[in-house]
Structures are given as structure tokens and as C-alpha cells.
Chain A
């Protein structure tokens, strides 16, 4: 372990030998970290490394079993988040705690409202919020309703909330998980500005790019212990990764070309509405071949969810065609089919939110592994489940996909995010699909688990499965996809062979910065109808 390479000043907040146990699990094992005013400290580690536990200790949500917290060098005890706030420590959580129908000002002051003669002083609230917003360059209008704000601005409301409570130390729990690349950039500007004004920033992440871009110091956690304290300027992503997962990451995934394949999925001029009745897909056309990964790149909310739902039968199609070549080589229309029918035709689906859609958290691993095929042989006969077969299936898949803990009867909700995703993968892969739709398959996963998912996708591709990969992570799309389709406001802006286009260009297309021009969309090697028409 390297000693903290930090300036000589007193840390504004420090954890000293913090230990926190959950039953037999030691989530934090004598963890020490120090954060200094005017600096940005990144805390990195895989899921389950103990980052969140540590932050919850620092923000008063959890009480440590051992060790102490120092605030400006003095020991301090928190019994609740309220104590931590009083001590000037505020946390911006991954999931916002905002009231959608309230205005920015109302949200910010909620709980400590300015009062005049016993009544809520709205005017003063507005003034305070406006002043704070200007002071830190947050560019928020106190009178906007939070529900009308994009995610990036909602996050700023959260920041404003803790600034309003006079926090000197701001903890961010994976703040970029919900942001677009542009919003991330803007957040970084805000963070640097806050640091410049003397605030202490603690930034939890597992994205190394962000660590390198924003932090001054890095503390790496692994399995509940601090394994390294590094100065960002003196380290590099490879070194950090080695500390994080205890080994080197495989070089970028190797792909072999699978040639001469048939078109498995063809989408023609698809139109769909969003939940709010707005046209979410405006004439989308593309195709996916067997043994190919087509990546859909785009900022979230540009029709990706609707596209995936339309393909899987969860959303009704206004017009257009979806054609699938099923396992027997027959072409079949997917429009107006139920999700079950589409599944039976050989379409597997990794949903973007595994906890919401992919799994029943109270069900055991074994039961989740048959979710969607529970009414087929051999798992049931004439409507009666066969527990023996269900268990046997789990015992086969658990080692194959390295699901931990390897217990078929463990409720899936008790598994870590990465292992939950492995359960989804195990199930969807074992259905032997001809088309696999993977929607944000690595969201919220750490490096190791993401690598596992990527390997799995590549393996399926080599087996000749057609894969549609929808991801907000441009890096992921660029690393995996054979062809990349950019989606913006419900239209395909262009389809590119991987390697023929750089990140900057894709970024421009993703944000509408470059008009959808006919010539860029033509992919001469593509066998079928491309996305040059429609819309």
C-alpha cells in the first residue's frame, strides 16, 4: 500500500481505519482515506469493493463498527445523515431525491425552508437559490419545475441542495451514470469550479476515463480494503485497473470475422409512439446479419427504448415492418406479436434494467433462470412445474456463467449487480437465440463484469447469432460492433462500418450536431436496405 501522496495540509475529511461489517461480510476493512480542500478525490473500485459503504459511513447513513471519521483533523461521530450535513458533508446520490412537481427553489430549500412570520418565504427561497446558482455557475432557474428539467440539470438541483446546506465536502456517487457525454463534460466544469472555490470533492466511479479527466487523487478499493492511494498525474488507467481487479485486463476483445451471413433482422420504416404519445421512432430502418453485432449508438432518450420494446413486442407499432428469419430460416413478421411469441421465434432479450425487467428479485436464482420459459418442457408439464429439472438447469448454468454465490436457491435480489446480470445472460443465452437484443448490457457493472458480458456477446456472435447492441456507452459500441447505427430523435442518422468512423463524428451525429446527410449513411458493403430512406 502506498502512503497518501497529498499536500501537507489537514484533510477536510478523513476516514481512519474504518471497519464496517454486514454479518460475515466485511464491507470495509480498516479503510483510511483523506480528502483535502480544493481537491477532487476519486474513489474507485469494482461493485462490492466497499465504495458505497464507505460513502454511507462518511455521510452518516451507516455507523462504522470500528475506526473514526476526522473532520478538519478532529474526530466526529455521526448518528444520522443529519449530523453529517451539520458537519458540512453532503452527498449527491445516484438516484435523485427530488420532488418532480416542485420548483427548483422549493426542492432546494425543502426541509430547511426560509420562514417569515410563520409562513414559507418563497421569495427569499428564490433569491437564495438564484444567488447560489450564480455563484457556482450552475445556471438553474429557481422557478423551473424539476419534472421539466433534463437529468443533467436535475443533478445540479441536488448539488444546489447540499450547497444550500453549507456543505464543504461534496460526495458524488457515480454521478455520470445517468448523464450524456455532454452533460458529463458540463458536470466536470462545475466540479472543477467547486474545487477551485475551496470545496472538497469526493467522486465515486468505476470509469477510469473520468478518474483521469477530473481527479487530483485516486484511492482504489478492492474487496473492502484500500489497495492504493495514487496521484492522478503520476498514474495511468492500466495501473489503476491492475489495483482495482488485481490483474491486468485483457486487451480489447478479439473478434473474428464471420462472413457470408444472412440477414436475420430487418426493420423497415418503423414508426412508434412513446408513452406520452409523442412520435418516438420516425421511420427507422436497418438490418442485422447473422454473426454480426450492430451497435445502436445514441444519447439516451432518442428512441432506443422504444425501438427495443417494439422489437420485443412490448410496444405497439404504428407503421413499418419488422422481419425476422427464425431458426428454421423462415421469414416472419414480428409486428403485432406478443412478447412470448417473439421469444418462441428465437429472439432473446437482455433488458436495460435488469432489476426492473430482467429479474424477479424475490425469486431464487433457479426460478429466474427459467423466467420466460417456465411454461415449456422440460421445466413444466401440463402447467405443473418440475422442481428437479429447474434445479438441474440451475446447477448446469451457475458454474458455466460463474454466478456467485453458487447457490440455486439464493434469492436473486441478494446477488450483486454483476451476478444478477450473469443470471440474465445465462438465461437468455441458453435459449439458443437467432437474434439477441442487448440493451445497455453493462450498465452499472464494473470492469470485470462488463468484460464478462462483452466476451459472452462476442462468443454468441461467433456462433452466428445476430446481435443488436443498444448502448449509451460509445466506447462499448465502438469496441464491439461490426457496424454502428447512430440514432438521434427517433431517426437513424447513419450506419457505419466500425473503424470507418471516429468518436468525434459519432458524437456529433448523436447530438444532432451534424445533419443527417444522404451520403454519409450509405454503406456500400451492406447487403440490404439501409437507413438512408424513411423518416
Chain B
């Protein structure tokens, strides 16, 4: 609304219902879609269980076992968190790139790069742990960043689409990792292969993240300092994006590259830096496993698909640090709790994949969820920003 006149002409009401709302309300609104998505996924997953087992109670017992399995004992809580660690890092990688307008589906490959670098450093040197572990972390960070630099450079200076380049580099990284563990061409051991011939695993690394759960609470706990590192990275993630000029430039470039260019932001450099930082986070995901619960690099590392799940986690977490952490813990809970569900209720863990898939589907189908919420079916009324009065015309016209 325009009003350049004197104070006598009444000022129109604020165009935005959101204006003046507390940040808590906004935060709650942010949660709306992911929570609805999770709820809908659980309901449909429950129907699938019920139909598959021809039982009305199966979903209830199944979900109960899932919940108990994920959080029932301190051990389960700890294992749930363990499962979430690489996902948190990898989700930071995807979310960070998203913020800069880039779809980095190469977190998987960057994660392998980080894992290989950490392994190489970790099995080569025999320095004391307080030197070697940071060295492994640093190596993984750099390797992930370097792996992402290739698509970053191609995107920034040659305009190659990052979806294609990052995806292709996933295969390169995957096969490089296989080669490192077993040279299938000549049948000779790979550069990182351990002493057992034909067994495609590396020797154990000489430094691992210390376990942070006291023995009296959980015997043989595995939750290690990588989880704390992930939390620290969450702060770093937020700080870079929202408290530095680089983050300002990254988000500006991500939202409107034309405007960024006009304002004098060096968008090519910004794109490259976005990919480097994104790749660094993915590299950390690699070391968090190799120097965490893995303890070594295995040929079967790609079975985890952390880098791909991270896309879903980042989406569910709305590309924020806290969101990514919470979403990763949810996925960790589903993965770890699913084991108990299978053991106790006899429900195959594939149902977990179905639920995870449904969550992604509903996050993607935000419009549908929003529609249902507005129809009053929602557990929580939420609203996203209402456009100014004149906007609907433009919307409709585009």
C-alpha cells in the first residue's frame, strides 16, 4: 500500500497477517508441513502393514515395537543417534547447497571421497589420537570439498548443470572406492586394502572418535564424539549462512541470481564456494563413519546410501540446521527401531523404507498437505505467508 501523504490519510492495515506474529508462531508454521508429512506417512504405512498382515492390530503393535525399538532403553536412544550421525552431516551438505540454489545430489560421492581420505590418513600414520583424528577429519573435509569443486567449477564457469555432474561423479567415487579396496582388473589388492587377501576392507584406522556415553549407562555404547562434531557443524552451518557476508551472498544467489549479479555479488565465486562448503560437510559424513562406528573402510559402504537419504532428510528439515538434525534423528530412529519391529512384531524392515519414501512424498506434495490443513483436518493450524492483496492476480497470471 502506498501512502505518501500526510498523517491525516489513514494508513491501511498491514498487508500480511504474519506481520507482528511471534517468531514462535512462525517456527510452528515451519514445522507444519514436515509434521503432517510424517503423520500421513505413518498412517498410510500403518494401512500397508494392516493389509499385508491381514490384521487390524498389526500397525499398532508394529509402531509400538518401532517406538520401543528406537527409544525404549538408553541403549536404543544411543543407537538411534549413532544411526543419525552420517545423515546429519550429509543432510547439512545437501541443505547448504539448496540454500545456494544448487541441488547437490553428489553428497554420496563426496562422502566416499571423505571416507577414502580419512582412511588413507588413518591407516598410514601412527600419530597419537589427538593429532591423527583431527588430521583424518581435515583430510576428509578437504577431500569432500575437492570432490565437490569439480561440479562447482563446471557450474560456475561453464554452466554445466550440477545435478548431472554431481550424479556422474557419484559413480566415479563409488568405483574409485571399490578400486581402493580391490583391484578387480588385475585382481591385485587395492591401495587401501587390508592384509586379508580378497577381503575388500581396509585395515582399521588408527584413530577413532571417543565414545561419549559412560559405561555405567550403556555397556558397549557406540555413540561417539562425531555426534558432538555434528552439532558444532550445525552451528557453523547457521553461522555461515546467516551471519557472514558469504552466507548473505549464497542465499541471495540461491534465491535470485539476477539480483545478486546486479548487486555486485560475484556469483560464480559464490557458486563455487557453496559447492566447496557443501562438499566439506559431505566429506565429514564420510569420516564420521570411518573413524566412528565403522572403524575402517568397507566395500559395502555404499549400501548405507547416506548421501541419497540426506536429500530426503534435508527436505524434511526444510534446509535448516536444526531441521536437518531432527529429521536425521527421525530417520535414525526409523532405521534402528525397525530392527526391533522386525524381530518382535515380525514386520519386515522394508516397511521402514516405505514410510521414509512416503514422508518424502508428502514433503514434496506440500501443496496437498497445505490443502488438507486448511480444510481443518490438521492437528495444528498453520499458515504460510499470505501474499499481499494484489498478488493473487499475478500468481494466477504467471
Q: Give A contacts to B, CB under 8 Å.
A: 22-27, 46-48, 50-53, 55-56, 61-62, 81, 93-97, 173, 223-224, 245-247, 312, 314, 338-343, 349, 351, 356-363, 367, 371-372, 374-375, 380, 383-385, 387, 402, 404-405, 407, 410-411, 413-419, 445-446, 448-449, 451-452
Contacts and interface: CB of A to CB of B under 8 A. Distances in A.
Contacts of A338: 264, 266
13 contacts: A48-B1, A48-B389, A48-B390, A51-B390, A56-B396, A356-B258, A362-B255, A372-B263, A405-B14, A405-B19, A416-B388, A449-B4, A452-B2
Contacts of A312: 262
Q: How many of chain B's residues touch chain A, expressed as a range?
A: 35 or more
Contacts of B259: 356-360, 371
A52 B392 contact: yes
Given A61-B393, A93-B397, A223 B4 contact: no
Contacts of A375: 245, 249
A50 B389 contact: yes
The 5 closest A-B pairs by CB, nearest first: A23-B17, A340-B264, A93-B397, A418-B2, A372-B263
Interface in B1-55: 1-6, 9-20
A404 B11 contact: yes
Question: By CB atoms of chain B within 10 A, which of A81, A173, A359 has the most?
Answer: A359
Contacts, number: 187
Is chain B's binding surface mostly helix, strand, loop or mixed?
loop
B374 interface: no
A76 to B, nearest CB: 20
A448 B5 contact: yes
A414 B19 contact: yes
Contacts of A48: 1-2, 12, 15, 388-390
A100 to B, nearest CB: 14
Contacts of B17: 22-25
A26 B5 CA distance: 21
Contact of A23 (B16, B393, B394): B16
Contacts of A343: 264
Interface of B: 1-6, 9-20, 242-249, 251-252, 255-256, 258-266, 385-390, 392-394, 396-398
Contacts of B3: 402, 404, 448
B2 A95 contact: no
B262 to A, nearest CB: 4
B242 to A, nearest CB: 8
B397 A416 contact: no
Given A22-B386, A245-B5, A349 B243 contact: no
B318 to A, nearest CB: 13
Given A25-B17, A223-B1, A340-B266, 5 more contacts: A53-B392, A62-B392, A360-B255, A372-B263, A414-B387
Contacts of A47: 1-2, 390
Contacts of A61: 392-393, 396
B4 A402 contact: yes
A173 B393 CA distance: 9
B253 to A, nearest CB: 10
Contacts of A50: 389
A380 to B, nearest CB: 5
A60 to B, nearest CB: 10
A449 to B, nearest CB: 4
A214 B375 CA distance: 44
A418 B266 CA distance: 29
Nearest to A342: B264
A25 B389 contact: yes
Contacts of A419: 1-2
A61 B398 CA distance: 13
B5 A93 contact: no
Given A374-B245, A384-B243, A314 B2 contact: no
Contacts of A449: 2, 4
B5 A22 contact: no
B271 to A, nearest CB: 16
Contacts of A342: 264
A385 B249 CA distance: 11
Contacts of A362: 251, 255
B256 A361 contact: yes
B263 A363 contact: no
B252 A371 contact: yes
Contact of B252 (A340, A360, A414, A451): A360
Contact of B12 (A25, A384, A414, A448): A25
B392 A46 contact: no
A108 to B, nearest CB: 18
Contacts of A245: 5
Given A24-B17, A385-B243, A405-B19, A357 B266 contact: no
Nearest to B264: A340
Contacts of A95: 394, 397-398
A339 B392 contact: no
A24 B4 contact: no
Contacts of B6: 247
Contacts of A411: 385
A383 B245 contact: yes
Given A24-B13, A94-B397, A383-B246, A414 B18 contact: yes
